[in-house]
Structure 1
Amino acid sequence: MQTYITDNTSKSDTVVAFNAHTIVDKSLATGQVLVFSNPLFNIGEAYDSGAGIFTAPVSGIYFFSAHFCLYNTRHWYYAFMKENDVVVVKDLKYVGETSVCETASAVVLLLQNERLWIECRSGSTDDQFLSASKQRSSFSGALLHRVNGYP
């Protein structure tokens, strides 16, 4: 991997970055993709705000972050998914009297046209997510470094 990065340090001028908020469906079924419908920006147009899926325009090392604000007494499981592989699994459980926000992140190698999304791993019919001016869930990602010729 180091050889691929070092050999391509002067060739990485592609800019890919997005930040989206506003979860469309706040009561998710198991296996459902979280759709963040309101992109603040989407440089490179790699994030599909209608489907909630990021598609890598180039092979590279990407950074993803998700920020979730949940109502009190909710519990929820989710995963960052890369095609059919779980990239990061995070467990959120709240039994307290106040709402809480939490952030998860992942650094991921994606090949060109590979996809990444956030998936609900344990569904609920209850509204899970707060949406207020001071507590807002979001999903963001950026290309850290392009990787050319990686198998």
Structure 2
Amino acid sequence: MLELREIVQKLDTVVQEQSARIYDLETTVTIQRNHIQDLMTDKKTDIEYRRKLERRLKVIENNFVGKYSDPKDYVVKSSNISPHENVDKQKIQRLLLPTNNIASDGLVAFYAYMSCPENNPSAHLTLIYDVSVTNVGNGYNHVTGIFTAPTSGVYVFVWVTRVAYGEHPTQLMINNAVYGVTFLRAKNGDDGSVSGTVVANVTKGDSIFVRVHSSYAGDGQVHSSELGRPSFSGWLLH
């Protein structure tokens, strides 16, 4: 009888050990499954980001060729280039800047839009409107999304945000100061647009841009398609 009890106790011990091992294996499988899911999500995000960069690079190339194809539009910023030095085309392009910064009639105006969606942007992120349609005065940079005032005066700024499957607050910034805020919630498969307008005294050299709210990023997508695009525009009023 004593031997039988010892056998049962040993079997119980083995069962407990096996149960613990099974639990550990199940936990490991769950962790690995979550890790694989995270890797798949990261890969999808990387692919979307790469495609976005490729589209932006294409826009930059098209704008550069269209705007600066005439050599008279350039001035060389460096005097250290030897006339006998074989400098490649890309290096030369980085040394060239447009000669004019303000239109001859004093007009300043810009309009740009976002060509592709921004998925789950983080707080503080500057929104980049990569397609520059109008840029009188050459103050808007479609690579950084920042308008640098070429002259002082009273300006009007308008920005439109399209949101899909989530909610996002945005801020219009002049340097480090918040001048305007918008918010839109579009849940349950909906999407919509919201716009904001700011009229402000701006000093030459000030930076104006739109960013995701500094304390709450929201969630979902800042959406862009042929049916509606986020945009950023402004003009010198006086």
TM-score (norm 1): 0.79
What's the counterpart of residue 112 of structure 2? 20
When residues 33 and 25 of structure 1 are mapped into structure 2, their CA distance, relative to the original with a 3 A threshold, is farther
Deviations 1:51-78 (A, max 9, x none): 1111111110000111111113x11111
Q: Which runs of 5+ in 2 are unaligned?
A: 1-104
Q: What is residue 30 of structure 2 aligned with on the other side? A: none
> Alignment partner of 2:237: what SS?
strand
* Greater relative contact order (Cα < 8 A, sep 6+): 1
Name the one with the larger helix percent: 2
Q: 1:99 aligns with which of 176, 184, 191?
A: 191
Counterparts of 1:14 and 1:39, CA distance in 2: 20
Kindly indicate whether the alpha-carbon contact (under 8 Å) linking 1:23 and 1:34 is maintained by their aligned counterparts in 2.
no
Q: Deviations over 1:49-108 (max 9, x none)?
A: 111111111110000111111113x11111101111110122222235421111111111
Identity %: 27
Question: Residue 37 and residue 86 in structure 1: after superposition, are their counterparts in 2 closer, same or farther (change >3 A)?
Answer: same
For 1:134, the equivalent position in structure 2 comes to 227
Paired residues, number: 131
Q: CA RMSD in A?
A: 1.8
1:88-146 C-alpha deviation (Å, 9 max, x unpaired): 122222235421111111111101111111111133574x122221211111111111x
Q: Does 1:32 align with 2:121?
A: no
Q: Matches of residues 57-136 of structure 1 in structure 2 within 5 Å?
A: 57-72=150-165, 74-121=166-213, 122-123=216-217, 126=220, 128-136=221-229
Question: What SS does the corresponding residue of 1:98 show, helix, strand or coil?
Answer: strand
Larger Rg belongs to: 2
Q: 2:222 is paired with a residue of what secondary structure?
A: coil
Unaligned ranges ≥5, structure 1: 1-12, 146-151
Q: TM-score by structure 2 length?
A: 0.51
Q: Give the structure with the larger strand fraction.
A: 1
